[in-house]
Structure 1
């Protein structure tokens, strides 16, 4: 009887190891595709690797390799938990193919997108794009949307061979690392960062004109766009979009941090300091880019007399859920400054109500710069992240010079 039990235990263990082996992903480059409600594919690539006996993957968008380490298998099922944005994949593995769903958890519902992926597939849109005579490298004045909701943006693209990388800059941030190709007379660009899924297509009428543009965002988002080459295209000053109401010079707030401790701007730790207030959310990819920068900024400037506070506006006003999503952000970037749970959602009108001194909140992130006397000196809307290249480095230079000037004041 004992031998039979031991044999059964060994057999179960062996079968478990076989099952685990069957659910291991093939190392190398995969092609994934999210399927929109209109049956369009939003493609991206990711690389699977084995590290210290565990599998992890990196989502590839241009130069960004977004690391994902929470992969688990059960039978022929694969579960991938994204490290940010409260989203995940639930998939079935069949050899070198994955099928299933990408699930985005919103405040009041879950949104599911069909998903497929194939191993050993390094191309994004076409294995062999059609030959082209066009080059879209340069700066473009682009309009996304129709007459009822137009957003004037600046497109910046780099084309090497037929591969195209770049982004669109807007008044509230950028579209991060777009990656794609020119095939024949058409442009294709996409991005997936765990939070947002974008697909841009357009006809290249000539080297100065993009027409018949289609923009797909997530499961159901659709819009039109067009662009003309314009090396002088620029956006409004990001410091001009939000301000204090007449009669206000200072900001006041008191919210709980992620540990439940009440934190106020009037606390002693912020007195006689230059204070940066970051209006953000764990669901926001541009906020992720700003946070990555702000962590290093804080380490550099805290010894000089700077404090940073993150004000989080989540998808829900549920405190426990906000704690969980913000803890993911804090752990991902090892954030050393306080993150406060405001209890208000990311609805911009509701966000503005939480800070009655502001005229409005135009977008996420919004950054408020306060001098050593406690007066608000600047309000910056949006963030041009590393996907914008020189605009990112220009912002850092400008922002840190402003900090140095404020620190030098008596």
Structure 2
């Protein structure tokens, strides 16, 4: 009887310990405030929501209108591991007194980069808990200048929407946009940030008047820093995205043969592409704007609509390593995430400035990722589009979709 009682007590104690351990590794549901800290100790804040889905916890990173779902959340003891769906990055954390602390780690091919991270639950504010009354409203379009000097100067377009203290928006550049930025205006100070699993951005500035922003600072990732200023200009715009990249004189076509993620060789001269309109997507799994473009091709209905009419798409991937197996791993993750129905080729070249031109020698230059080459039914390059302004840019994205659909329709109407 005594032995039986001890056995029952032991079972109850074990169950109690397991139940307590299980409770300790459960994250509090609701809105959290996370902070990444860069090399200069500047804090980059963002919010995320923890929820229970089918008995499993997952998070959604909040940037303006975007709630980026991250379902891969696992726990072990007091450790919490969060693997980002894209960009080959992860969080390795400890749960202490309901708070999280640890590191965000990016796997960059030949090395890892880590930023300290901490987070607190039940915190919905991003920059300031009690911001001051805004001195100005910055809603509108701005001509922004990033960097200094001749070589380091870059002209961008800022698009902001301010409601009270809350501020959302983005910056558009010739190679894409800064995606969904969120922050606040307090007094005469502007604060914006974004975290998407690849890029970590922090923007601060002084608002001098309704039309002038000065003393801007932009921190990106571990150590990148750029000064910026802006002047309100409703007519601010970027160069035509179809005018920035071209073929060398005398060239009308491009040619390539690369293995797909399964190792099978795919060539632009293959029969499946003959007499077809072909969209060549130059991308990298590390590139958020490339992910926006991929999402457009697949999930906006573009591929489903036009593939049946005679459009083929090929993705040429330039990964951070020339190692085929490492590239294969990251691209398989990308392929699984988007359920990509078209060939995704591993070029074996990295995103270094000259590498895309080495792999596609007919290109006269290359500005950045993504770049999209549009080929007609005769195999001639008709257009080259540099960059991609995604849904975070609002009307700019809408205008692109309408324009790209029309271009596709026009090319399909031509004879092969």
- 2:181 corresponds in structure 1 to 178
Alignment partner of 1:122 is 2:124: yes
Normalised TM-score (structure 1):
0.97
Extract unaligned runs of 5+ from structure 1. Answer: none
- 2:76 corresponds in structure 1 to 74
Alignment partner of 1:294 is 2:297: yes
Aligned mate of 2:212, from 209, 212, 221: 209
What SS does structure 2 have at the residue aligned with 1:345?
coil
CA spacing shift, 1:5–1:245, aligned 2, 3 Å: farther
**1:21-60 counterparts in 2 under 5 A?**
21-60=23-62
- 1:344 corresponds in structure 2 to 349
- How far has the Cα of 1:5 moved from its partner? 8.3
- 2:111 corresponds in structure 1 to 109
- 2:256 corresponds in structure 1 to 253
**1:352-363 counterparts in 2 under 5 A?**
352-363=357-368
Whole-angstrom CA distance in 2 between matches of 1:223 and 1:299: 41
Extract unaligned runs of 5+ from structure 2. Answer: none
Alignment partner of 1:265 is 2:240: no
- 2:314 corresponds in structure 1 to 309
Aligned mate of 1:61, from 60, 63, 73: 63
Instruction: Tell me the alpha carbon deviations over residues 251-292 of structure 1, each in whole angstroms, 9 at most, x when there is no partner.
Output: 100001011111111111111100000000000000010000
- How far has the Cα of 1:305 moved from its partner? 0.3
- 1:390 corresponds in structure 2 to 395
Aligned mate of 1:367, from 344, 348, 372: 372
- How far has the Cα of 1:394 moved from its partner? 0.3
Tell whether the 8 Å contact from 2:109 to 2:326 is kept in structure 1 after alignment. no
- 1:232 corresponds in structure 2 to 235
Tell whether the 8 Å contact from 1:20 to 1:73 is kept in structure 2 after alignment. no
What SS does structure 1 have at the residue aligned with 2:158?
strand
Whole-angstrom CA distance in 2 between matches of 1:76 and 1:250: 57
Instruction: Tell me the alpha carbon deviations over residues 62-119 of structure 1, each in whole angstroms, 9 at most, x when there is no partner.
Output: 0000000111111111010011001000011013211110001112211110001000
Instruction: Tell me the alpha carbon deviations over residues 7-28 of structure 1, each in whole angstroms, 9 at most, x when there is no partner.
Output: 7677556533432221111000
- 2:153 corresponds in structure 1 to 150
Normalised TM-score (structure 2):
0.96
Tell whether the 8 Å contact from 2:134 to 2:164 is kept in structure 1 after alignment. no
- How far has the Cα of 1:243 moved from its partner? 0.5
- How far has the Cα of 1:333 moved from its partner? 1.3
Whole-angstrom CA distance in 2 between matches of 1:359 and 1:206: 43
Tell whether the 8 Å contact from 2:135 to 2:186 is kept in structure 1 after alignment. no
CA spacing shift, 1:269–1:133, aligned 2, 3 Å: same
What SS does structure 1 have at the residue aligned with 2:348?
strand
Tell whether the 8 Å contact from 1:322 to 1:341 is kept in structure 2 after alignment. yes
Instruction: Tell me the alpha carbon deviations over residues 142-183 of structure 1, each in whole angstroms, 9 at most, x when there is no partner.
Output: 011111401100001001111111000000000000001000
Whole-angstrom CA distance in 1 between matches of 2:245 and 2:18: 58
Residues matched between the structures, number = 410
Instruction: Tell me the alpha carbon deviations over residues 223-268 of structure 1, each in whole angstroms, 9 at most, x when there is no partner.
Output: 1000000111111111111111111111100001011111111111
Instruction: Tell me the alpha carbon deviations over residues 178-212 of structure 1, each in whole angstroms, 9 at most, x when there is no partner.
Output: 00100000000000000000000000011100000
